Amino acid sequence: MFKKLLAGLLAASLVLSLASCNNGGGETSSTESTGGDSSAAESTGGNEGGDGKYSGTLTIWDGDPSRAPTGDAYKAYFAEKYPNLEFKFEMKTENTYQSALSSAFGANQGPDVFWNWGTKNGILESIVAEDYVMPLTNIADMSLFEKDGEKTMISNICYVDDTLYGVPTAAIDTRTIYYNKDIFEQHGYKPSTSLADFEAMCDQMLADGIIPLTVAATEFSSLFHVYDFILCAVEGGPQFVKDTEAGTAKMNDPRGVAALEKYMSWKDKGYFSTASTGNDASAAVLEFAQGGTAMIICGSWLLSNVKSANESLNFDVYKLANEEDNKTYSCVTANGAYSIAANTQNLDNAKMFINWMCTAEAQKTWMDAMNSVPGIPEVEAADPIATEIGTSDEQISGYYELLSGTAENGTPNKVYEENWVPLWNGQITVQSSLWMLFPSSRMLLNN
């Protein structure tokens, strides 16, 4: 049933091509909705008109600076809708987000509402276990996301032990290659769906003094997103993902090993820029957008960041077909969720925001700000590039999220996460990394 719901949801989406804030805990990113100190209040009060029903403060935290555009979109919306409401939007860094939330909540501080990855990486489960998250079962109307009352791929990540703790940001996340059309045209490179042609083109780029690719190699998430992308293109990759989902494939399956070895061969050949090793997502996007590389492999959710990094950038989506069956595959995952802090002192405002996020209007506001690929038919993509990203012959699950489904004690992905950067830096090998992964997970290795 779940797979049937997933298929239907994705097909439909392609047819219609944030307690008073005490600024507690964690490192705050310099990237936020207004570009200033993210601990400063983003006040929306003082406007004429609008609805005066809500006043006081609403503070929202996010753990990924790439979603800063949503803060601007919310600020504009609430300034008009609720002029007496003081809106604050704060960005935190991904690698310190869980500790920032726990520290703030433990000191009875922090946000009213916070974005999270749902159950994809164990953070939500951990802070739920600390009683820092308010159940939303009697607050949120999930009918926009669960039309027949059953969980879907998009909403499933919002539940911990079958209790609702979040409202989804209903986008489909996938992995993509963006390419600089001007560089391609100037040097006569032709986009081809063939994996062999792609590798030959990268070889020619190196011969021409052009760096093919960049990646955010300081971030495990960016590194495994490239792995997902390669799995979609190599022989046996898609079936390996499907078999993993069915519980019949192990982590050191030869098909998975071959894809990982292909990945490392691209690095060894020099396909990725030397700057990649020190890049976070923002730096990788900037490197590509400023012409430092011809292409970038990254998440679909970075589309708005690529555009804002260089408004005159002439770029498009590069598609690779699978070398075995010539079909285009995309690894898709749910995006994330908004949750209410259990210690909020602004409960009415927090409920208002959560209920708003249960509407198509709010979801479109979020997706338009991020140029995301919609995962519900009620919202159409605002950007044709987003539509193109979401188009493929077949959607399959993201490998990391499949591993998350094998969780024991909530966070089995820690070892997996900690292997990616050492693997990239040459501190471990493909084989040793595979044997080090998941020592306590049901995703056992083949003997």
CA dihedral sign, ordered 401, 407, 411, 414: negative
CA distances from 304 to 141, 176, 258, 287, 401 (A): 29, 14, 33, 15, 24
Question: Could you tell me the two tokens for 160?
Answer: 């911990």
pLDDT at 350 over 80: yes
| pLDDT in the model for residue 7 | 42
Looking at per-residue confidence, does 411 or 193 come out higher? 193
Q: How confident is the model at residue 5 (pLDDT cuts 50, 70, 90)?
A: very low
| pLDDT in the model for residue 446 | 55
Provide the strand spans (E) within 387-435. 394-397
Looking at per-residue confidence, does 40 or 330 come out higher? 330
- Out of 110-114, 336-340, 388-392, least confident range: 388-392
Q: Average pLDDT in the 259-271 region?
A: 96
Q: What is the Rg, in whole angstroms, of the alpha carbon atoms belonging to the chain?
A: 21
| pLDDT in the model for residue 404 | 61
| pLDDT in the model for residue 294 | 98
| Cβ–Cβ under 8 Å, residues 282 and 65 | yes
| Cβ–Cβ under 8 Å, residues 364 and 293 | no
175-180: strand order across its sheet: 213-214, 295-299, 175-180, 315-318
| pLDDT in the model for residue 114 | 98
Scan for tokens 């089995």, then name that residue.
412
- Residues whose CB is less than 8 angstroms from the CB of residue 279 and which lie 6 or more positions away in sequence, other chains included: 214, 215, 216, 217, 218, 273, 287
Burial (CB < 10 A; 0-12, 13-18, 19+), residue 117, is buried
Specify the pTM: 0.74
Looking at per-residue confidence, does 374 or 447 come out higher? 374
DSSP letter at 445 equals P
20 Rama sector, left if φ>0, alpha if ψ -120 to 50, beta otherwise: beta
Question: Could you tell me the two tokens for 246?
Answer: 């069915």
pLDDT at 402 over 80: no
Q: Average pLDDT in the 209-229 region?
A: 94
pLDDT at 39 over 50: no
Q: How confident is the model at residue 262 (pLDDT cuts 50, 70, 90)?
A: very high
* Per-chain mean pLDDT for the chain: 85
Neighbours of 215 (CB within 10 A): 28
Tell me: the pLDDT tens digits for 88-125?
999 998 778 989 999 999 999 999 999 999 988 778 99
| pLDDT in the model for residue 228 | 93
Burial (CB < 10 A; 0-12, 13-18, 19+), residue 53, is exposed
Closest by Cα among 172, 140, 199, 149 to 357? 140
- Residues whose CB is less than 8 angstroms from the CB of residue 393 and which lie 6 or more positions away in sequence, other chains included: 327, 328, 329
pLDDT at 213 over 50: yes
Q: How confident is the model at residue 18 (pLDDT cuts 50, 70, 90)?
A: very low
CA distances from 38 to 33, 34, 68, 159, 304 (A): 8, 8, 10, 30, 20
